[in-house]
Structure 1
């Protein structure tokens, strides 16, 4: 699924109208029909139902006028409340307003404070609200009077369907700066807008439907949009088929450098995740002092001891041993649970510039590079970095809220600066590469906010790279599988008690249902 900005959608509309000759009024008609189709799914046949449509003065309002006409034809009682004088309506919206008025349906302006009582009364008797106030071109805060009406709608308890985007939500950022329609469903047109799926967007969008309004798909390809929502279909296409004569060496040799005294769980989770993601052989290199513990704790994972510090963390002297082991491996995962010991930090900073094979850097591996992130520019392979917002902020030298308020931009900036694939973790994890490609991941839930879940993601991505996926492909698929495993676990166990081990346990099922197209 493509994710468009408001400007990209406007360009798409303009091209369809001006270059292909599709009249704007046709696109508006198709948009309205798609909303009506969704309304029928929500409430059944409209006959006898009371439906209130809030319409703005632009094309979004015009879509609302189309919806009103078709609902009237279907036998509904339709009330259109308009945020403009009739004389202010122009263009295609005016065409549809004229038709509506010819059907003896006259919109009622609600543009002054006295109209609040009319809105309140309408909410008492309506069965459904249609939000066609502002479209994708909206940004900033809604006017005060409109905001009061939006608050009345939200507090009414009535189902709301938003036309293209909930009014008050920014299509480009997913942010709100005041009252915003909290829709039960949103019908967006042609392609989803990125603001619907990031930041606050999902909280206000409700169930999202992307509707075809007859804009040819090749126009989108001509715009070279490289922003996507990850879907099962995308992930399925990334996964390689297993050959009948495959063997353990066929599916990747993974080397993990992880763990320290008190943090051995991170190493165990990451290495087992690599195996459950499909890797053929996994070797876990740990400080010598915890090696015997890992030998007992892990059965399927091979373990190797590394030179250590007095605190049982990886020593700077371990660089040579790790590079030697990496010669026989396909990919390195570095960081889970290695600690912030000074010698360990020096180890990370020393080894990263020497890496010629794919590497995933996570957790303490990223923290070791904070303040010295320029080292990443010397990495000879394209690294995969998996920071949470705090780690990203430390790497970029900014505040965490600056990252959170601009998640897509922060990920893109980091990807270009360090020639890396960035996995910015959190709600709707962002994956970005140096070429400008961005994926937004839809899976995962708040129950996964538990220690160790990030270590599992590191292992999953490493395991997928070992099977031949590119760093970007492995990040996209790995994040999807990881989040889906958390969703499956939460479905059975609930979110409150969810722990990282549950995510690991459900990882095989997440992979299976995705590849086999199951729900």
Structure 2
């Protein structure tokens, strides 16, 4: 077992960005998700991507929330996508979604989405048609939907990264949550090999596994991160680092370390639980720059 700590980070640095004065060179991220029920999830993911160093950001969400979301994240372009009668993203918007995704380096798909049949249709259509040069990070509802298109994930020419918690991994693997938690290492390894993807299995300890047995474990987080929106922040950090040019496994590991370390710092300040996920956002650059 390899521990994700300062020594590992020293041996696996992030790409330099100081010389990249053009925002396009810093990486372009498209975050897609949200719903009428969870309209603010993309604010967390999108800002996290920018805090991680990405140069340009687009946010794609249900049309009824798009304008308001764009006002909350003025640094981003807002893309209005069609919704179902229940306020979820509709697969009818896949053409518009792919038009924008094709111009980006990384697509983060899933924050604020639920694992419905419509979500499955949308995720399948995106993975089937997404250009190979675009990395895809699947989070939240998109992870459960990925269980219906595993063959497409294996065939995607670009990087694929999944960020499940045990419940989402249970949906993806067909196991129950207790099985996932009891045999987390083996399940993360097996899923990484099966999907040819990077898997970040989030729990009290987080396991990052890549195809072929490459893996690392982070145990420096805090129970205070078990709060709404925390996973949305993590997905955004991953997307921002991939867009910057970090290798997918390195990006995933650095994102997990940064997210967990920022959470622990906040928890120490609060004296325990009670942090809000949006409070993680200003700390992201500090920890990515190892100023801790």
How does the TM-score come out when normalised to structure 2?
A: 0.94
Equivalent residue for 1:291?
Answer: 66
Cα RMSD of the aligned pairs, angstroms, is: 1.6
Measured after TM superposition, the shift of residue 372 of structure 1 is: 4.9
Equivalent residue for 1:253?
Answer: 28
Equivalent residue for 1:268?
Answer: 43
Does the C-alpha gap of structure 1 residues 412 and 340 become closer, same or farther in structure 2, counting only changes over 3 Å?
A: closer
Equivalent residue for 2:93?
Answer: 318
1:449 paired residue among 226, 239, 250? 226
Question: Is 1:342 aligned to 2:113, yes or no?
Answer: no
Measured after TM superposition, the shift of residue 284 of structure 1 is: 0.5
Measured after TM superposition, the shift of residue 503 of structure 1 is: 1.8
Equivalent residue for 1:430?
Answer: 207
1:394 paired residue among 148, 151, 171? 171
SS of 1:346's equivalent? helix
Equivalent residue for 2:276?
Answer: 499
Measured after TM superposition, the shift of residue 247 of structure 1 is: 2.0
Question: Is 1:306 aligned to 2:81, yes or no?
Answer: yes
Does the C-alpha gap of structure 1 residues 340 and 391 become closer, same or farther in structure 2, counting only changes over 3 Å?
A: closer
- Greater than 3 Å deviation, 4+ residue runs: 370-375
Does the C-alpha gap of structure 1 residues 492 and 238 become closer, same or farther in structure 2, counting only changes over 3 Å?
A: same
Q: Is residue 124–residue 148 contact of structure 2 (8 Å, CA) maintained in 1? A: no
Q: Is residue 371–residue 397 contact of structure 1 (8 Å, CA) maintained in 2? A: no
Measured after TM superposition, the shift of residue 343 of structure 1 is: 2.3
SS of 1:352's equivalent? helix
Measured after TM superposition, the shift of residue 370 of structure 1 is: 3.6
Residues 131-178 of structure 1, C-alpha deviation per residue, up to 9 Å, x if partnerless? xxxxxxxxxxxxxxxxxxxxxxxxxxxxxxxxxxxxxxxxxxxxxxxx
Instruction: Specify every segment of 5 or more residues in structure 1 that has no aligned partner in the other structure, as ranges.
Output: 4-227
Does the C-alpha gap of structure 1 residues 434 and 245 become closer, same or farther in structure 2, counting only changes over 3 Å?
A: closer
Q: Is residue 120–residue 148 contact of structure 2 (8 Å, CA) maintained in 1? A: no
1:329 paired residue among 82, 104, 119? 104
Measured after TM superposition, the shift of residue 371 of structure 1 is: 5.1
Distance 1:398 1:344 in 2: 21
Instruction: Specify every segment of 5 or more residues in structure 2 that has no aligned partner in the other structure, as ranges.
Output: none
Question: Is 1:509 aligned to 2:289, yes or no?
Answer: no
Measured after TM superposition, the shift of residue 314 of structure 1 is: 1.4
Question: Is 1:229 aligned to 2:6, yes or no?
Answer: no
How does the TM-score come out when normalised to structure 1?
A: 0.54
1:460 paired residue among 237, 258, 266? 237
Does the C-alpha gap of structure 1 residues 349 and 244 become closer, same or farther in structure 2, counting only changes over 3 Å?
A: closer
Distance 1:382 1:245 in 2: 23
Distance 2:152 2:65 in 1: 29
For these two proteins, the number of residue pairs brought into alignment is 289
Distance 1:359 1:245 in 2: 23
